[in-house]
Amino acid sequence: MPPDLRFANRVYRLAAVYGVAVLVPAYLIPLPDPHKLTQIGFVGLALVFQGLFWIIAGDPMRYQRLVPLTIFEKLCFGIPAVAFWARGQTDAITAAFGSIDLLLAAMFALVMVRLRRMPA
């Protein structure tokens, strides 16, 4: 496997495993009723993306057109989490998880660049 494909495979597998490990316990957090449905919906949708990451990892060249969508998925939580923390509206743990998502977004962007350099 060429180095760029191996890199893409590892980045997306790592993201999938990390995501499942972080998201599944969120189903066990007790929440007030008005927020429970929103939390469950967010976690469920995020878990769906972990499956998408796993699929992309299996054949990065075939699924490279999905990479921009995965970057956006990471930015959707990462940016607000860090911004809310900067304004004192959330805790440092949330900002840390947001920062990890921003790092993964950057790694996904690097995957996109590396895949586009490869011959078809």
pLDDT tens per residue, range 58-82? 999 999 999 999 999 999 999 999 9
Closest CA to 26 of 106, 97, 87: 97
Alpha helices in the chain (DSSP H): 3-23, 33-58, 67-86, 92-117
Residue boundaries of the structural domains of the chain: 3-117
- Whether residue 120 is predicted with pLDDT greater than 80 in this model: the reply is no
How does pLDDT run across 7-65, given as a tens digit for each residue?
999 999 999 999 999 999 988 888 777 878 888 999 999 999 999 999 999 999 999 99
Closest CA to 107 of 59, 63, 55, 53: 53
Band of pLDDT at residue 90, cut at 50, 70 and 90: very high
**Pairs from 96-105 (Cβ < 8 Å, separation ≥ 24):** 97/22, 100/18, 101/74, 101/75, 101/77, 102/74, 102/75, 102/78, 104/11, 104/15, 104/18, 104/74, 104/78, 105/71, 105/74, 105/75, 105/78
**Tokens 């760029």 -> residue:** 4
Going by the DSSP 8-state scheme, the letter that residue 89 receives in this structure is S
